[in-house]
Amino acid sequence: MARTNAGKLATYSDEARDANLQNAHESATSWLGNDSSTYRDALRLCMHVPPVLRDGECKSTATKALSDKERDTRPLRKIVIDRDWLDTLLGSEYIQSCLDNPYRPKQSRMKLYSHLVTDRWQPQPPECNESRTNDFHLTYIVRPASVVAGSILGQNFTATYAATSNNTTGDLEVRTADRWYIISEDKRGTVFEAHLPALLSLAGPDTFPWPVPTVNPREPIWAQLLEYDILYGKLFSSLGTIYVYRKRGDDMMYISKVYEDFDEEVLRTTALILLAHNPPQSPPLMSRVLATVAEQPIVHSVSSWLKDKAFQFMLIIGTVYGAPGIGLKTSNGYRLFYPVGQENIFPSIFSRRLGSGASGTVFLSTDGRHVLKVFANQERARSEANMLAACLEYPHINVPTFRGLYSDGHRFAIVMSYAGTGMENIFIASDDQKRQIITILTALHRKNIHHHDVRADNILVDHRGVVTLVDYDKAVTVNGKCSYCSDIEVIDALRDSMGRHETNSYM
């Protein structure tokens, strides 16, 4: 059960600590040897965070003053309490799908193993200064979280102490070589406790002076969010943690409730890093206006034909005024999707549902030239978009032509060229179509792209008999050969069904 720092200290015993440490070693060893273990399993093993002894001699509540550079940063206009925003994130489909995936990379598995066998029960020394708080936070929370998040995202994160030049940076940071993800402002428990009421008292008034006479932890964290152009951070102490975020352009800082227990702190920090990697998309203002108009009752009262024309007209107007988008028409009404990147097609409406699978639902445009694949999982959408974008360099390979990544603010979707209908069974297809499948797969492998999901539903044939391989959300780039590759099995099976003497030229 999750407990506060004080509760853990009150119930501590050497016997319980020894038993917990032995159990941790056994569980970590079992996890390491089980290839089906998930990221959720790993986070469960590093849930417990050791308690910190209170320092009876250090009663100072002073915190560092703002530097001149921090005072000159863009003023913080307002603080807003968004109590459960992080809990909502933890329950999102994106985070849940990340946690349920198998913990595959062996190197990161070994890297996390050292954290799992660390003593996470022995009380830590008193916080005589903030550097000791930094050490505690970095060792038991931030570093294991960065290892897990890095493995999920395929990123090499560095969790370390932030630079201190000019007194303008935070205490801890998680970053890659070229980008900051989150920043943390760490305070001793006595400091956090003393300044928390002042922080909460300002979460309500529309404005307040910048900086205020009494320095509070909120001011350095706001300056650091702007300094590194990041959206997410933490106010951490041994007595509790507040998670913060900002939205671009509104000069407000949003703060969570105070989390007084630490037994899910590694999980929460992991989720924060994942969110920083894929922040929610906000539609342009014009796009939001058009979406609001499309939902009005008067729009729904006219005929279907008029609604289509009216909505398409709104899409064209949006494109003219810098808010290009496409429309999805379903039985529930109209949804506006806008481009996440630079790619865009002429404003189109997608209305005919072609089918759905594990990764998403596919709709055909009214002109029959493009399809819109709406994903249930943001990470899968981005993965497939990246693969299809890479294939644009190889127009001779029969894959869908990528037209762009889109979002309606909640879901992600890909627009691509229409390529025909699915096969019933690839092994009873014509020999010519089998040759085309082999040609596509071998050509992709020469470009180090492995599909890993070749089946009849993912092979489309147009009216001319031209084959196209679709659905790249499980595809990976491999420099060399896979230890196991389902693509090779399909190629061998197709060759066997044709007779190897007919397919030597495709090897």
Q: Which domains does the chain have, with CATH numbers?
A: 5-277 (no CATH), 285-417 (3.30.200.20), 421-506 (1.10.510.10)
Going by C-alpha positions, the residue among 36, 183, 166, 50 that lies closest to residue 101 is 36
pLDDT at 148: 92
Element (H, E) at 364: strand 360-365
Computed over every residue of the chain, the mean pLDDT equals 79
pLDDT at 165: 45
Cβ neighbours of residue 190 closer than 8 Å, sequence gap 6 or more: 55, 58, 59, 60, 61, 127
Determine contact, residues 384/470, Cβ cutoff 8 Å: no
Going by C-alpha positions, the residue among 436, 460, 458, 450 that lies closest to residue 488 is 450
The list of the chain residues with pLDDT below 70 reads 1-2, 55-73, 104-105, 163-170, 204-219, 280-324, 331-333, 341-347, 358, 479-483, 499-507
Whether a cis peptide bond, with omega within 30° of 0, leads into 211 is yes
Element (H, E) at 417: strand 412-417
Going by C-alpha positions, the residue among 418, 453, 454 that lies closest to residue 436 is 454
How far apart CA 279 and CA 29 sit, in angstroms, is 35
CA 97 to chain centre: 10
pLDDT at 504: 41
pLDDT at 99: 86
Angle between the N-to-C axes of helices 14-32 and 106-116, in degrees from 0 to 180, rounded to the nearest 10: 170
Residue 144: helix, strand or coil by DSSP?
helix
| Structure-block tokens of residue 462 | 């147009």
pLDDT at 219: 60
Residues 362-407 have pLDDT tens digits of 999 888 899 999 987 777 888 888 888 888 888 889 999 998 888 8
Strands (E), 74-227: 78-81, 158-161, 172-175, 180-186
How far apart CA 109 and CA 106 sit, in angstroms, is 5
